[in-house]
C-alpha cells in the first residue's frame, strides 16, 4: 500500500507543485489590435491658492479668531491624509481615476450593463459588437480542442493536481463522489473514475477500472514511486479508449480546454489595462450526470495585480451522452471579493470593465 503522505505531498507536490509547461501559451495571443482610448481631464489652475488669498484680505481681528480654527482644521486634515486609502482607483490604476483608463467600449458596458445578459456562446454574441472579438469563438475553439485525442491533451497531468477539488453529482444535487482525505492519491483517483463510470451506467469501464487501474498505476516506476501522470496517460488510451464517455468528460477540465475562456477574459480586461494572475489552488470542478447529458463546471479564481480584489469565473461545458459532442457552453464572472477598501463608484466601474461577462447575483 502506497504511503499516503509521500503520494500526496511528495510525489504530487500538493498545492506547491509547479504546474506543467503550458504548451498552449501561444494560443492566448490574438491578432486583434485593441486601441485603448484614455480620456483626458481638464484641470483648472489657481483653485488651490484661492483660499490663501482670501484669508490674507481679512482684518486682523477676524484673522486672529479664524487662524486657530483653520490651524486645528488643517492639522486634522493632515492627520487624515497620512492614512492611505487603498482603493482600486488610486492603487491599481496608479493614482489615476478608473474612468480615465477605460476604453470607449468599456464605458458603454457600464451604462448598458443592466441590459446585457451573460455570454452563452450562441449566435447572440453579435450584440457585443467588436469590443471583444473572441466572444464569438468560444464554442468553435472549445470544440477544436475537445476533438483532440486524449493523448494530445493534458488530462493525465491535471487529474493528479486537481482530484482534491473535484465533485461528482447525479442530477443537480445528489453528491456521488468527493475527495476522501483518509485515502492516498491513487485510491482517490481510482474511486473518482469508478464512481463516474457507475453514474454513466458503463459496466465495461467499471470493470476495467476495478481490474486494471492498480496495475497500470504501479508498473511505471521512477525513483521507487509510480509516475502517476504517465501511467494515467497509458491507462486512458490503452485500457479505456478515447471513444468512451468518461474520457470525453476528462477532456472538459484541463489546462488545454480552458484556453479559449482565458483568452476572452484577458481581452476583456485588457481594454482597461487591468491585470490579474492565477490564484493557485482555486480551480474547482463540478460534474453533473443527467440521463441525456453531462455538464462540467470549471470554477476558477484569479487575483488582481496588485492584490486588491479576487474574482471567480465559470466555464460550463455540456456534452451529449449519446453523441459525446459539445452541445452548449457558457462563460461568466460570478463572484468578486475585495481585499482592500473600495468605494461603490469603483465597484461599479470594475463591473463595467467586466461587461457582459459579469453575472449579477
Say if residue 273's pLDDT is above 70. Answer: yes
DSSP string, 29-59: --S------PPP----SSHHHHHHHHHHTS-
pLDDT at position 272? 86
pLDDT tens-place string over residues 179-192: 999 999 999 999 99
pLDDT tens-place string over residues 115-163: 344 444 433 332 333 345 556 789 999 999 999 999 999 999 999 999 9
Say if residue 338's pLDDT is above 70. Answer: yes
pTM: 0.67
pLDDT at position 271? 83
pLDDT at position 227? 86
> How many other C-beta atoms are found inside a 10 Å radius of the C-beta of residue 139?
21
Say if residue 171's pLDDT is above 90. Answer: yes
Q: Which of 342, 341, 284 is nearest to 316 (CA)?
A: 284
DSSP string, 168-183: EEETTTEEEEE--TTS
> What mean pLDDT value characterizes the chain?
74
Higher per-residue confidence, 301 vs 11 = 301
Please state the rounded mean pLDDT for residues 318-346: 93
Higher per-residue confidence, 317 vs 345 = 317
pLDDT tens-place string over residues 291-316: 999 999 999 999 999 889 999 999 99
Say if residue 17's pLDDT is above 70. Answer: no
Please state the rounded mean pLDDT for residues 104-121: 40
Please state the rounded mean pLDDT for residues 350-354: 91
Higher per-residue confidence, 281 vs 360 = 281
pLDDT tens-place string over residues 116-128: 444 444 333 323 3
Higher per-residue confidence, 288 vs 123 = 288
Q: Which of 275, 299, 29 is nearest to 162 (CA)?
A: 299
Q: Which of 275, 333, 279, 270 is nearest to 302 (CA)?
A: 279
pLDDT at position 136? 78
Pairing of strands 166-170, 276-289: parallel
pLDDT tens-place string over residues 38-89: 333 444 444 444 444 444 444 444 444 444 445 455 544 454 444 444 444 4
The 3-state secondary structure of 262-327 reads HHHHHHHHHCCCCCEEEEEEEEEEEEEECCCEEEEEEEEEEEECCCCEEEEEEEEEEEECCCCCEE
Residues 6+ apart with CB under 8 A from 142: 121, 257, 260, 317, 326, 329
pLDDT at position 359? 83
Q: d(Cα 11, Cα 13) in Å, to the nearest integer?
A: 6
pLDDT tens-place string over residues 226-258: 689 999 999 999 999 999 999 999 999 999 999
Residue 311, strand partner residues = 302, 336
Amino acid at each position: 500500500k502506497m504511503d499516503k503522505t509521500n503520494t500526496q505531498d511528495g510525489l504530487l507536490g500538493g498545492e506547491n507543485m509547479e504546474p506543467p509547461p503550458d504548451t498552449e501559451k501561444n494560443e492566448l495571443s490574438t491578432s486583434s489590435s485593441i486601441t485603448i482610448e484614455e480620456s483626458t481631464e481638464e484641470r483648472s489652475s489657481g483653485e488651490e491658492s484661492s483660499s490663501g488669498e482670501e484669508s490674507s484680505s481679512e482684518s486682523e481681528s477676524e484673522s486672529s479668531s479664524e487662524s486657530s480654527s483653520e490651524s486645528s482644521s488643517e492639522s486634522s486634515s493632515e492627520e487624515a491624509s497620512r492614512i492611505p486609502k487603498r482603493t482600486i482607483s488610486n492603487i491599481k490604476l496608479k493614482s489615476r481615476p478608473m474612468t480615465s483608463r477605460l476604453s470607449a467600449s468599456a464605458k458603454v458596458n457600464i451604462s448598458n450593463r443592466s441590459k446585457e445578459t451573460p455570454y452563452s456562446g450562441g449566435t447572440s454574441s453579435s450584440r457585443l459588437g467588436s469590443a471583444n472579438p473572441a466572444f464569438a469563438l468560444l464554442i468553435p475553439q472549445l470544440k477544436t480542442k475537445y476533438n483532440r485525442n486524449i493523448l494530445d491533451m493534458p488530462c493525465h497531468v491535471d487529474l493528479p493536481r486537481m482530484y482534491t477539488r473535484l465533485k461528482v453529482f447525479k442530477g443537480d444535487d445528489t453528491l456521488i463522489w468527493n475527495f476522501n482525505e483518509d485515502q492516498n492519491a491513487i485510491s482517490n483517483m481510482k474511486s473518482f473514475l469508478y464512481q463516474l463510470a457507475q453514474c454513466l451506467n458503463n459496466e465495461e469501464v467499471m470493470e476495467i477500472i476495478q481490474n486494471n487501474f492498480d496495475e497500470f498505476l504501479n508498473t511505471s516506476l521512477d525513483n521507487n514511486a509510480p509516475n502517476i501522470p504517465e501511467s494515467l496517460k497509458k491507462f486512458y488510451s490503452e485500457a479505456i479508449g478515447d471513444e468512451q464517455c468518461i474520457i470525453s468528460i476528462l477532456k472538459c477540465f484541463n489546462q488545454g480546454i480552458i484556453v479559449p475562456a482565458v483568452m476572452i477574459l484577458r481581452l476583456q480586461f485588457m481594454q482597461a489595462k487591468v491585470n490579474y494572475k492565477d490564484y493557485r489552488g482555486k480551480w474547482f470542478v463540478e460534474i453533473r450526470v443527467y440521463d441525456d447529458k453531462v455538464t462540467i463546471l470549471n470554477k476558477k479564481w484569479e487575483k488582481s495585480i496588485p492584490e486588491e480584489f479576487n474574482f471567480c469565473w465559470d466555464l460550463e461545458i455540456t456534452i451529449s451522452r449519446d453523441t459525446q459532442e459539445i452541445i452548449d457552453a457558457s462563460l461568466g464572472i460570478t463572484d468578486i471579493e475585495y481585499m482592500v477598501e473600495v468605494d461603490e463608484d469603483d465597484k461599479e466601474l470594475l463591473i463595467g470593465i467586466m461587461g457582459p461577462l459579469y453575472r449579477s447575483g
